[in-house]
Chain A
Amino acid sequence: MRVILVGDSRTVYFLARRFVSRRYHVTAIVKDRAFGEELGEQTKATVIEGDGTDLNRLEEAGARQADVLIALTMQDQDNLIACQIASRVLGVPRTIALVNDPDNEVVFKKLGVSDTVSATGLIGSVIDQEATFEDVTTLLPIAHGLLNVSEVHLPADSPAVGKTLQQLNLPGKSLVGSIVRNNQVIVPRGDTRLEVHDHLILISEPDQQSLDLAALCG
């Protein structure tokens, strides 16, 4: 796997370290010389100093052979242009952009970026959910955000306590992946009866999730 990272943030540093440890071929295009030197020494990534939205720097970074480009600058416009030039001119099959303004997630997808990551959106939705259901923790979005994995704690007043999963018949079609009860992992079946303080690991569609959370937490 050949990965190109664009940007000067700590995220670039940690991703480079992680990808190198998985034996991916990592090239980073950074603007700041001091950051670039540190990155090169600490991670063994190939570092190119310059503008990651510049065709010449992207070619120098081997974009024509790259499998994925990840643009992580603090400027949405730079992330967009880096991804567009990489995919449309240099044929990089997959491009991922950090979006700082969450409204730009939709915009970037319309303009040809394969994937977007919005820190503002992610943190915002975690806080929104916690504000609604204090017994719910969203663990991570998977399958490009089509599914959420979350952990639900059943409070004493939960309408689900005492019911079997079959009786419960979650309206939002979430899947109960496992139940943690007194630090024991239980593989759930239809006749598994829910108890107070059970922790359920749910896999759900984000827009259907709230139905099931209401059924579980009240």
Chain B
Amino acid sequence: MAHKRIVIVGCGRLGGALANQLSLSGHEVIVIDRNEKAFEKLSVEFSGYRIQGDATEMHILKEARLENADNLFAVTTSDNINLMVAQVARTLFEIPRVVARVFDPNRESIYANFGIETISPTKLSADAFLKRV
């Protein structure tokens, strides 16, 4: 896998796990979270950047030098923040691949129709459960 510059918005359980894994695989990782304590989830081997701030504010995204990123994963616990950041990343910063986590399946299908790449944990686990019926 080629070396990429990847921005992760939200350093919760998922964001932290993605950041650790990607950093370990040799990618350049930038993690953004509003809460400094969230960065405690990053492992000692994590060699990327931490930016403390609200990713719905343009100046934070500029600080993260979004224009040079290959990927952005928006994985905060708020669907609306993820969808807003994903659209800003794609439309204004022209990041080639942007993915947003969206819990609400209705909202997920709306934005999937708008052309935003989304992952719905609710839908994924519902499918997994239903396969076991």
A-B contact count (CB 8 A): 49
- Nearest-CB distance from B94 to chain A (Å)? 12
- Nearest-CB distance from B111 to chain A (Å)? 9
**CB distance A81 to B84 under 8 Å?**
yes
Give Cα A84–Cα B64 distance, bound, in whole angstroms: 26
Give Cα A80–Cα B107 distance, bound, in whole angstroms: 13
Q: Which residues on the B side are within 8 Å of A75 (C-beta)?
A: 80
Binds B, one of A48-56, A158-166, A168-176: A48-56
| With contact pairs A101-B58, A103-B59, A107-B92 given, residues A81 and B106 touching in the complex (Cβ less than 8 Å) | no
Q: Which of A25-80 contact B (CB under 8 A)?
A: 53-56, 75-78, 80
**CB distance A77 to B78 under 8 Å?**
yes
* Contact string against A for B residues 55-66, beta-carbon threshold 8 Å, 1 for contact and 0 otherwise: 011110000000
**CB distance B110 to A89 under 8 Å?**
yes
Q: Which residues on the A side are within 8 Å of B56 (C-beta)?
A: 76-77, 101, 104
B83 CB-CB contact with A under 8 Å: yes
The one of B80, B106, B110, B114 in contact with A78, judged by C-beta atoms closer than 8 angstroms, is B80
Q: Which residues on the B side are within 8 Å of A78 (C-beta)?
A: 80
For chain A, give the interface size range: 20 to 34
Question: Who on chain A is nearest to B59 by CB?
Answer: A103
Q: Which residues on the A side are within 8 Å of B106 (C-beta)?
A: 54-56
Q: Which residues on the A side are within 8 Å of B88 (C-beta)?
A: 107, 111
- Nearest-CB distance from A50 to chain B (Å)? 13
- Nearest-CB distance from B95 to chain A (Å)? 15
B91 CB-CB contact with A under 8 Å: yes
Q: Which of B80-120 contact A (CB under 8 A)?
A: 80-81, 83-84, 87-88, 91-92, 104, 106-107, 110, 114
Question: Who on chain A is nearest to B88 by CB?
Answer: A107
Question: Who on chain B is nearest to A88 by CB?
Answer: B114
Q: Which residues on the B side are within 8 Å of A84 (C-beta)?
A: 114
The one of B83, B104, B107 in contact with A77, judged by C-beta atoms closer than 8 angstroms, is B83
Q: Which of B1-46 contact A (CB under 8 A)?
A: none
Q: Which residues on the B side are within 8 Å of A110 (C-beta)?
A: 91-92
**CB distance A81 to B58 under 8 Å?**
no
Q: Which residues on the B side are within 8 Å of A88 (C-beta)?
A: 110, 114
**A contacts, CB < 8 Å to B:** 53-56, 75-78, 80-81, 84-85, 88-89, 101, 103-104, 107, 110-111
Q: Which 6 A-B pairs have the closest CB atoms?
A: A103-B58, A77-B80, A77-B84, A81-B80, A77-B81, A80-B84
**B contacts, CB < 8 Å to A:** 56-59, 78-81, 83-84, 87-88, 91-92, 104, 106-107, 110, 114
Extra A-B contacts (12), CB below 8 Å, given A55-B106, A77-B56, A88-B114 = A54-B104, A77-B80, A77-B83, A77-B84, A81-B84, A89-B110, A101-B57, A101-B58, A103-B57, A103-B59, A111-B87, A111-B88
